[in-house]
Amino acid sequence: MPNKIPINYKVDGGLVFIQEFLKHPLQIGSIIPSSRYLERRIVAAAGIASANVVVELGAGTGGITRAILRAMPEHAKLLSIEINPHFHTLLENIEDDRLIAHFGSAYKLKEIISLYDLGAPNVVISGIPFSTMNRSTGTQILKAISSQLTPNGRFIAYQVSNRVATLCQPFLGSGQTTTEFLNIPPMRIFQWEKKE
Residues in the chain, how many?
196
Above 50 in pLDDT, residue 143? yes
Output phi, psi for 182, to 5 deg: -90, 60
Q: What percent of the chain has pLDDT over 90?
A: 77
Which secondary-structure segment (H or E) carries 113? helix 109-115
Alpha carbon distance 120, 116 (integer Å): 11
Reported as a single tens digit per residue, the pLDDT across 90-122 is 999 999 999 999 999 999 999 999 999 999 999
Of 88, 87, 124, the residue nearest 109 (C-alpha): 124
pLDDT of residue 196: 75
Above 90 in pLDDT, residue 75? yes
Above 60 in pLDDT, residue 25? no
pLDDT band (50, 70, 90) for residue 184: confident
Above 90 in pLDDT, residue 18? no
Alpha carbon distance 79, 118 (integer Å): 9
E strand intervals along the chain: 53-57, 77-82, 99-103, 123-126, 154-159, 176-180, 187-193
pLDDT of residue 116: 97
pLDDT of residue 16: 47
pLDDT band (50, 70, 90) for residue 185: confident
Output phi, psi for 98, to 5 deg: -80, -15
Pairing of strands 123-126, 154-159: parallel
E strand intervals along 1-52: none
Q: Which domains does the chain have, with CATH numbers?
A: 9-148+156-193 (3.40.50.150)
E strand intervals along 93-175: 99-103, 123-126, 154-159
Pairing of strands 187-193, 154-159: antiparallel
Mean pLDDT of the chain: 86
**C-alpha to C-alpha distances, 3 to 10, 91, 93, 95, 194, nearest whole angstrom:** 21, 13, 9, 11, 40
Above 60 in pLDDT, residue 79? yes
Q: Are 83 and 91 in contact (CB under 8 A)?
A: no
pLDDT of residue 32: 53
